[in-house]
Structure 1
Amino acid sequence: MSSSETVVTPAGAGAAAEGSVRLDDVVHRYGRGGETFTAVGPVDLTVPAGEFLVLVGASGCGKSTLLRLIAGFERPTRGSVRVSGAEPRPGRAAGVVFQTPRLFPWRTVGGNIDLALRYAGVDRARRPERRAELLARVGLEGSEKRRVWEISGGQQQRVAIARALAAKNPLLLLDEPFAALDALTRERLQQDLRRMTDRTGRTAVFVTHSADEAVFLGSRIVVLTKGPGTVALDLPVPLPRGETDPEELRRSERFAELRAQVSHAVKAAAAA
């Protein structure tokens, strides 16, 4: 980690702590008049600063809707959403990584990062140094001049993660960012993301369908019922973090128990 990187220290469950998230009686509906349906809610959820929360559930349970509400892309029909104690502002509340990288193909790898740095208000003179730091963070040192189509899908997703980190937001939101990748690349990026958030103390909210991914990444897992999504299970993950051997962790008996518990909860919530 670069010495110039801002480290966000976990600050407990206070609603005003930098990077904390709080949802109070949140309900969200789509449509108008008699053609409405409830996507999520009611949901009450507090995410302390520095926590890695994973949202799991079957398709249509409202995981991505909750993520958009936290990002400020949408406002709840009822209830309140607070990030760092304030109503979230789109593009300001958090760095967001989607299922597909959504990079600008006419820009180089470095050009995509520079654009994010510009929107983050980083001075032009500081951008090359900050760009190099971000690319090093995701393991893409020296790739700034390459075109987007010249790098693999996994590398493109690394660029998307680096772009999300450009503003140094204390909150990172990830909507199934590894779903389209092959198994080997997915596991490698899971390890990188886990290590990075542990080192920087950033709060993360991660959406996935995978019980295995949820247990590996999360310090806490919330399973949602089928739509409208409500909390079916709120499970802390008492596994070691930090410099832990990922293969040893996945082979552990406790990991297998937690994975089975989450998998069972997802199936039960979907069938209820």
Structure 2
Amino acid sequence: MASSEALHKGSGPDAIRVDRVVHRYGRGGETVTAVGPVDLSVPAGQFLVLFGASGCGKSTLLRLIAGFERPTHGSVRVSGAEPRPGTAAGVVFQSPRLFPWRSVRGNVDLALRYAGVARDERAARRAALLARVGLEGTERRRTWEISGGQRQRVAIARALAAERPLLLLDEPFAALDALTRERLQEDVRRVAAQTGRTTVFVTHSAEEAVFLGSRIVVLTKGPGTVALDLPIGLPRGDVDGEELRESREFAELRAEVAHAVKSAAA
């Protein structure tokens, strides 16, 4: 297993810095602290998984990194700047949030247009994106004509349309069946390796966390603070997903992470 220092240091400057962040909801005497204080430094190219029980603040932390919200205290920096919604990262939510009146092609082309891709370049870019997520031949189909897993693949392709260095995913597979979820986990793992994008993935599944992450941060129950910061030294290249899941090291890491989240939620 790679050392924590090697994994956390990475090969370049930090893609994300979270410094003494606290975030509260509400006003006056009705405030609820959702997160903090939290400190995180995420090097470029790392696949970070935020893991914890429901209500620990992991989705709140993701929204702060995306720039959808600003911290009550502390600071968040993406590539050295304060994140702005729509420009800091590609984001995939639990629900695909596609436009139902548009085809698969239309949904991806709209993302390419907002990303500033020239009209005469969109067809080639769209084809490459759909091939990357395994959706060749679906361009003309409407969103209600494809499965839930395929709709989520369209959402991932759309998030990749703008070539931003950061990809954020908030429990994107939680509503899918087990087989589809495993297939999409393998797709996301492969896409992250191919693109080299810094990725932050929110989940409440220990198995998903270990399979996807090169690093796992477990949060305590709300307000969420860092209970465990664990490097994952499993192979990151072209590996057989089923074989990896059946390995002894995978089982040991899954048990360690599951135990950590139970302790953090106690």
TM over 0.5: yes
Residue 42, structure 1, aligned to residue 41, structure 2: no
2:207 corresponds to which of 198, 209, 212: 212
Instruction: Indicate the structure with greater helix content.
Output: 2
Partner Cα distance (1:85, 1:98) in 2? 25
Equivalence for 2:225: 230
Q: Tell me by how many angstroms 1:246 deviates.
A: 1.1
The two structures have a TM-score, normalised by structure 1, of 0.93
Partner Cα distance (1:14, 1:133) in 2? 29
Residue 121, structure 1, aligned to residue 106, structure 2: no
Residue 90, structure 1, aligned to residue 85, structure 2: yes
Identity of aligned residues (%): 80
The two structures have a TM-score, normalised by structure 2, of 0.95
Equivalence for 1:7: none
Q: Tell me by how many angstroms 1:125 deviates.
A: 1.2
Matches within 5 A, 1:63-78: 63-78=58-73
Q: Tell me by how many angstroms 1:248 deviates.
A: 1.2
Matches within 5 A, 1:194-205: 194-205=189-200
User: Residue 28 of structure 2: SS of its match in structure 1?
Assistant: coil
User: Residue 30 of structure 2: SS of its match in structure 1?
Assistant: coil
Q: Deviations over 1:219-254 (max 9, x none)?
A: 000000000000000000011110111111111111
Equivalence for 1:144: 139
| Matching residue's letter, 2:83 | P
Partner Cα distance (2:10, 2:102) in 1? 38
Equivalence for 2:161: 166
| Matching residue's letter, 2:237 | G
Equivalence for 2:104: 109
Equivalence for 1:61: 56
Q: Tell me by how many angstroms 1:13 deviates.
A: 5.2
- Tell me, yes or no, if the aligned pair for 2:19 and 2:75 is still in contact at 8 Å: yes
- Tell me, yes or no, if the aligned pair for 1:13 and 1:46 is still in contact at 8 Å: no
Q: Tell me by how many angstroms 1:11 deviates.
A: 6.2
Partner Cα distance (1:182, 1:219) in 2? 24
Equivalence for 2:216: 221
Q: Deviations over 1:79-103 (max 9, x none)?
A: 0100011110100000000001000
Equivalence for 1:29: 24
**TM-align CA RMSD:** 1.0
| Matching residue's letter, 2:265 | A
- Tell me, yes or no, if the aligned pair for 2:112 and 2:122 is still in contact at 8 Å: yes
Equivalence for 1:241: 236
Partner Cα distance (2:257, 2:133) in 1? 29
